[in-house]
């Protein structure tokens, strides 16, 4: 991975914002910038160099993984160790005073921020910043796309096995367990979020995590799951029907499928992201179902299952080659049923590539 290039681009952002350094506490951002995959660390990116702080549990791992940063094994919490390092090395920061040390407002708790401010000498001032690293992460390079593609294909390869577990009377949890076991056996590091298996009336819950409820003899089952492979997440949803679907159910399914196709059709470089959301919503509105589409059309996926950009109304972001997003419209009639169809898609120079290969015609079990 091009850690040096990522850090270089981040330094450009820092100088644009007149910041002297960025203190990163969000682990996916740390991984993105230096390769560390452990659970405790902080990364200080200054104009002159990058220093990574972790604790004694990660001595060997950090030496093996971290690229483009000096490693400091600290006895204290990594963030406090970073503050102490700044105090000791304040001579390296020349120029205007106080030095502005950016922190990640989205990821730093008020308590930790307070402790950090206390531990820093007066020559430094903390500056809240937002999504400086995440904005870079939106554009995936070819190595990242390759990893995402593999994660998506692994996720899709489990679909038929999962279908065989969906039978009337089976607990949703047992379907999820079967799926997750097969994911591990197939080489997934872990699942990317709690598996959603929502049958019958529960299919109307957009985030119906697999529960002890049983699959009914007739009705939709929303299956939304993902795996993590080499650090990168996959995310897909298919909705299947157990028993013969009534005409109304078929209609609902086909409208959602049409909405998903309409959104996919507008994905391409230079397209305002709100337009993608609007395309899906338009189809549902025409069928009188707009009020039942209660979430946004999609989200970015990468090292995290939900990351920038959001694919939603009012978003100002413009699609660029290298972005990987989901397209997942749905319609949920409370107390009755719900349908969602979700693919992952990569924005390319000329348009887009749908990464999820799984079929989308209504599957009847
Ligand atoms: Zn999903
Ligand atoms: Zn999703």
The number of the ligand nearest the C-alpha atom of 311 reads 2
The share of the chain scoring above pLDDT 70, in percent, equals 100
Cα(148) to ligand 2 centroid in Å equals 14
pLDDT of residue 76: 87
Q: Tell me, in angstroms, the distance from the centre of ligand 2 to residue 342's CA.
A: 7
Q: What is the mean pLDDT of residues 123-149?
A: 96
pLDDT at 252: 97
Cβ proximity of 69 and 39 under 8 Å? no
pLDDT in tens, 235-267: 999 999 999 999 999 999 999 999 999 999 999
State phi, psi for 125 to the nearest 5 degrees.
-130, 135
User: And the tokens for 323?
Assistant: 């972005």
Q: How far apart, in Å, are the Cα atoms of 124 and each of 29, 46, 56, 75, 97?
A: 23, 13, 27, 23, 7
CA distances from 276 to 74, 220, 311, 322, 342 (A): 47, 26, 7, 16, 14
Distance 327 CA to ligand 1 centre (A): 9
- Say yes or no to pLDDT of 21 above 80: yes
pLDDT tops 90 at residue 94: no
**DSSP annotation string for 192-209:** SSPPEEEEGGGGGSTT-B
- Residues 321, 55: Cα–Cα separation, whole Å: 38
Distance 342 CA to ligand 1 centre (A): 6
- For residue 197, pLDDT over 80 is answered with yes
Strand duo 298-300 + 124-129: pairing: unpaired
pLDDT at 204: 96
Count other Cβ atoms within 10 Å, centred on residue 276. 28
Average pLDDT over residues 14-19: 94
CA of 235 from ligand 2 middle (Å) equals: 6
241, 223 in Cβ contact below 8 A? no
Q: How many A from CA of 75 to the centre of ligand 1? A: 40
Quote the CA–CA distance of 63 and 75 in Å, as a whole number: 17
pLDDT one-digit tens code per residue, 95-114: 777 899 999 999 999 999 99
Cα of 46 vs its chain's centroid, Å: 27
- What distance in angstroms lies between residue 125's CA and the mean position of ligand 1's atoms? 40
Is residue 123's pLDDT more than 90?
no
Q: Which residue has the higher pLDDT, 90 or 180?
A: 180
CB 103 within 8 A of CB 119: no
pLDDT of residue 171: 98
Distance 223 CA to ligand 1 centre (A): 8
The answer to whether the beta carbons of residues 163 and 365 sit under 8 Å apart is: yes
Ligand lying nearest the CA atom of residue 209: 1
Distance of CA 227 to the CA centre of its chain: 12
Instruction: pLDDT band for 92, please (50, 70, 90 cuts).
Output: confident
Taking only the tens place, the pLDDT of each residue in 161-173 is: 999 999 999 999 9
Region 290-304 average pLDDT: 97
In the predicted model, what is the mean pLDDT of residues 125-136? Answer: 95
Q: 365 pLDDT exceeds 80?
A: yes
Q: Give the confidence band of 93 by pLDDT, cuts at 50, 70, 90.
A: confident
Which residues are found with C-beta within 5 Å of the ion, ligand 1? 224, 235, 237, 342
Mean per-residue pLDDT, 195-210: 94
Closest C-alpha to 162, from 231, 221, 249: 221
Query: Ligand 1 mean position to 210 CA, how many Å?
Result: 13
Residue 129 has pLDDT above 90, yes or no: yes
- Give residue 274's pLDDT band: very low, low, confident or very high (50, 70, 90): very high
pLDDT in tens, 47-88: 989 999 999 999 999 999 999 999 999 998 899 999 999 989
Contact call for residues 186 and 207 (beta carbons, < 8 A)? no
Measured over the CA atoms of residue 182, residue 183, residue 188 and residue 189, the dihedral's sign is negative
Q: pLDDT category, 121, cuts 50, 70, 90?
A: confident
List the structure tokens of 348. 């390319």
Mind listing the pLDDT tens digit for each residue in 137-159? 999 999 999 999 999 999 999 99
Collapse the DSSP code of 27 into the 3-class scheme (helix H, G, I; strand E, B; otherwise coil) and give the result. helix
């Amino acid at each position: 991975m091009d850690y040096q290039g990522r850090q270089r681009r981040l330094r450009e952002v820092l100088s644009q914002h007149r910041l002297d350094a960025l203190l990163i506490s969000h682990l996916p951002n740390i991984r993105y910038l230096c390769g560390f995959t452990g659970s405790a660390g902080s990364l200080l990116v200054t104009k002159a160099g990058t220093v990574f702080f972790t604790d004694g549990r990660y001595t060997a791992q950090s030496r093996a993984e971290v690229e483009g940063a000096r490693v400091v094994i600290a006895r204290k919490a990594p963030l406090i160790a970073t503050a102490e390092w700044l105090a000791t090395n304040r001579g390296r920061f020349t120029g205007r005073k106080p030095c502005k040390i950016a922190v990640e407002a989205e990821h730093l708790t008020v308590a930790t921020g307070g402790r950090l401010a206390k531990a820093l000498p007066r020559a430094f001032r903390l500056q809240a910043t937002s999504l400086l690293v995440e904005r870079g992460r939106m554009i995936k390079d070819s190595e990242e796309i390759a990893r995402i593609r593999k994660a998506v294909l692994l996720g899709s390869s489990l679909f038929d096995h999962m279908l065989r577990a969906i039978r009337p009377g089976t607990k949703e949890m047992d379907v999820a367990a079967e799926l997750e076991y097969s994911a591990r056996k197939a080489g997934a590091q872990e699942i990317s979020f709690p598996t959603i298996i929502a049958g019958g009336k529960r299919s109307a819950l957009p985030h119906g995590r697999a529960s002890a409820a049983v699959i009914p003899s007739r009705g939709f089952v929303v299956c939304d799951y993902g795996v993590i492979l080499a650090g990168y997440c996959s995310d897909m949803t298919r909705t299947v029907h157990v028993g013969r679907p009534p005409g109304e159910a078929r209609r609902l399914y086909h409208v959602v499928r049409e909405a998903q196709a309409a959104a996919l059709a507008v994905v391409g470089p230079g397209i305002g992201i709100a337009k993608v959301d609007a395309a899906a919503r338009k189809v549902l509105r025409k069928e009188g179902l707009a009020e039942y589409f209660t979430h946004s059309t999609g989200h970015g996926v990468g090292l995290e299952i939900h990351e920038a950009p959001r694919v939603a109304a009012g978003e100002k972001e413009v699609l660029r080659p290298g972005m990987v997003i989901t397209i997942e419209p749905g319609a949920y009639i409370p107390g009755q049923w719900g349908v969602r169809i979700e693919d992952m898609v990569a924005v390319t120079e000329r348009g887009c590539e749908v990464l999820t290969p799984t079929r989308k015609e209504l599957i009847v079990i």
